[in-house]
Structure 1
Amino acid sequence: MSSLWNWNGLFREGVAGNHQGAIPDGQLCSGGRTEGGRYNALDAVGAWKTSPVSSNFRVRLYDQASHGADYIRVYVTKQGFNALTQPLGWGNLELVGQIGNTPASQWTPESDGGVSIQIPANAPGRTGNQWSGGFQADVTVTAGGSAIRGWSVSWTFANGQQVTQAWNATVSRSGDTVVARNVDYNGNLGAGASTTFGFTGSWNGSNPVPVVACTTA
């Protein structure tokens, strides 16, 4: 948790825009193994947390200290990159949005005294969170008009797909039917409230999106 709380140690001074020269492949998320290895875990291969977006989207950046920026660049991974097996390198990225010098006075003031800005991006041609032999899925569970104390989500894999790892849910399988149940910290939802769980899986042949059913526990 130290790496998340102390995130400002990722700053690299004196780079002068040459990020690729200063930070080697496989060390992008740790800023080149800064702070004596504090952030090395951020480079680890594994499932990324994802959210569905359209090809045209905006990235909102919040700046509590109101610094502004000389420039901001938005990158996405190229189609076919597999976060489960590949460390992130510069060759895996594609620049999809950027803005130039923007002092904090041009950003949107926020209620706590900070500022924010939105960077438009365009990343067409993506097919989602799927790669050869594997995929990642995120599922949002939303309570209806009344609060609930637990939930379960079920679906059927028609072509032998397998769940290999799950988070924010306990997943079991009987035949082709998969059931995901809440864990201790995300079962109680107020009316209209939502929570999200996700999983990675394997597939071969075809991988259609299944129909899911949700019930209260």
Structure 2
Amino acid sequence: MKIRRATVGHSIVVGLIAAVVAALIPATTWAHGALLTPGSRTYLCYKDGLTSTGEIRPTNAACQNALAVGGAQPFYDWFGVLRSDGAGRTTGFIPDGALCSGGFTKYAGFDAPRNDWPLTHLTSGAAFNWTYAAWAAHPGWFYLYVTKDGYNPNQALTWADMESTPFLSVDHPPLNGSAPTGNYYWGGNLPNKTGRHVIYSVWKRSDSTETFYGCSDVVFDGGNGEVTGIGGGTNPSPSPSVTTSSSPSASASPSASVSPTSSTPAPTGACTATYSIVNTWGGGFQGEVVVKAGSAALSGWTVKWTFANGQTISQLWNGTLTASGSSITVKPVSWNSSVPAGGSVSVGFLATQTGTNAVPTVTCTSP
């Protein structure tokens, strides 16, 4: 292992309850890692949101917003901010405003410019023990960048905000343990900074072009790795991901739409459902259906709609999908089948589109 500006330190084992978590994740996962110390946005929001029943219910306001924008699946897949065609590329490949999502629409909620993300407290220039989750282990290089002086967390993060070269680069560090509970570890000094910043991680595999990206929100105030901003919080309206004028070559890159388009709720039985278009990009879009109970609690629910323009759902979370041509039926999973009176649950999905993307009328029924 070769480390630039760093020496190998002792390992830090970060506890991940992998066996339990694996049983709780409701959809197939295919990705492989993220910074644990200092924790990435996706990892710390996952820690903040995961409940004992396996549901995602964040208390941090920024994490709540990410849930509202993208649903729960990005939290379960906190280790999945990757580009299969990345080849280590950064500037000019990942669009401005989409650094934290890696240009991957699924994680667009984590690009929201906010000053209330979970925060790791650090000491400028100090020696630090870095750990990076190895949910699936792969050989490669790690590159750590930091924002320039004067970084403003309330503005969209762009490449112009980042220092042009990594402050720390690591060549094939050792692995402590084994996937999925293991982690890569190394020692290396923190950058000489003051105040609020983002540490941006890039993991470039040496056995493929797959590359992982992530944002860790930090403040250089003399701390030693303490995390604040998890707990408390409110239930805000969603802050949209940033509209970008350019996009990477992969088809999953976001390019616009920050305003959802909703159908009129159609009450049938004891519940109503609202369909929204959350995000659109060339050839695809992200949608959401919110199921709301009336004056009585729901002990189950079913929503149905028919696409008019050949749309096809490729991925759905927080529900069970049955598709027959253009006819869509979604039923709950075990943990969101019951909805209290006046309460609501949401189902998110990714779908393909060509041309017109009309908003369908959705019906909701309850046993």
Shorter-chain TM-score bucket reads: 0.5 to 0.7
Instruction: Name the amino acid aligned to 2:292.
Output: T
Structure 2, unaligned stretches of length 5 or more? 1-15, 17-35, 37-42, 49-117, 126-147, 152-160, 167-197, 203-210, 216-227, 232-239, 257-276
CA distance 1:174–1:75, change in 2 (3 Å): closer
Which residue of 1 is the match for residue 285 of structure 2? 135
Q: Indicate if the aligned counterparts of 1:80 and 1:131 stay in contact, CA closer than 8 A.
A: no
Matching of residues 62-141 of structure 1 within 5 Å: 76-78=242-244, 85-86=252-253, 129-141=279-291
Which residue of 1 is the match for residue 338 of structure 2? 188
SS at match of 2:162: helix
Taking the aligned partners of 1:134 and 1:141, their CA distance within structure 2 comes to 23
Instruction: Name the amino acid aligned to 1:134.
Output: G
Taking the aligned partners of 1:130 and 1:12, their CA distance within structure 2 comes to 41
Given candidates 163, 170, 173, the residue that maps to 1:21 is 163
CA distance 1:181–1:75, change in 2 (3 Å): closer
Taking the aligned partners of 1:84 and 1:31, their CA distance within structure 2 comes to 27
C-alpha RMSD over aligned residues:
4.1
Taking the aligned partners of 1:179 and 1:159, their CA distance within structure 2 comes to 17
Taking the aligned partners of 2:312 and 2:121, their CA distance within structure 1 comes to 37
1:152 deviates by 1.1
Matching of residues 2-21 of structure 1 within 5 Å: 3-4=43-44, 5=47, 7-9=118-120, 15-17=148-150, 19-21=161-163
Which residue of 1 is the match for residue 201 of structure 2? 33
Q: Indicate if the aligned counterparts of 1:146 and 1:190 stay in contact, CA closer than 8 A.
A: yes
Which residue of 1 is the match for residue 52 of structure 2? none
SS at match of 1:195: strand
Taking the aligned partners of 2:358 and 2:122, their CA distance within structure 1 comes to 42
1:195 deviates by 0.8
Taking the aligned partners of 1:199 and 1:75, their CA distance within structure 2 comes to 17
Taking the aligned partners of 1:157 and 1:174, their CA distance within structure 2 comes to 11
Matching of residues 162-181 of structure 1 within 5 Å: 162-181=312-331
SS at match of 2:308: coil
Taking the aligned partners of 1:143 and 1:16, their CA distance within structure 2 comes to 49
Which residue of 1 is the match for residue 274 of structure 2? none
Identity %, equivalent residues? 33
Q: Indicate if the aligned counterparts of 1:10 and 1:31 stay in contact, CA closer than 8 A.
A: no
Instruction: Name the amino acid aligned to 2:163.
Output: G
Instruction: Name the amino acid aligned to 2:243.
Output: T
Q: Indicate if the aligned counterparts of 2:251 and 2:282 stay in contact, CA closer than 8 A.
A: no
> How big is each residue's C-alpha offset from its partner over 1:31-85, in whole Å with a ceiling of 9 and x where there is no partner?
3129xxxxx96649xxxxxxxxxxxxxxxxx9689xxxxxxxx972326758963
> How big is each residue's C-alpha offset from its partner over 1:2-47, in whole Å with a ceiling of 9 and x where there is no partner?
62149434879584225322688xxxxx83129xxxxx96649xxx
Instruction: Name the amino acid aligned to 2:242.
Output: V
User: How many residue pairs get matched?
Assistant: 145
Instruction: Name the amino acid aligned to 1:137.
Output: G
Taking the aligned partners of 2:297 and 2:361, their CA distance within structure 1 comes to 24
Q: Indicate if the aligned counterparts of 1:23 and 1:32 stay in contact, CA closer than 8 A.
A: no
Given candidates 305, 316, 332, the residue that maps to 1:155 is 305
1:213 deviates by 0.5
Taking the aligned partners of 2:212 and 2:121, their CA distance within structure 1 comes to 13
Instruction: Name the amino acid aligned to 2:336.
Output: N
CA distance 1:13–1:138, change in 2 (3 Å): farther
CA distance 1:11–1:203, change in 2 (3 Å): farther
Taking the aligned partners of 1:23 and 1:142, their CA distance within structure 2 comes to 49
CA distance 1:128–1:140, change in 2 (3 Å): closer
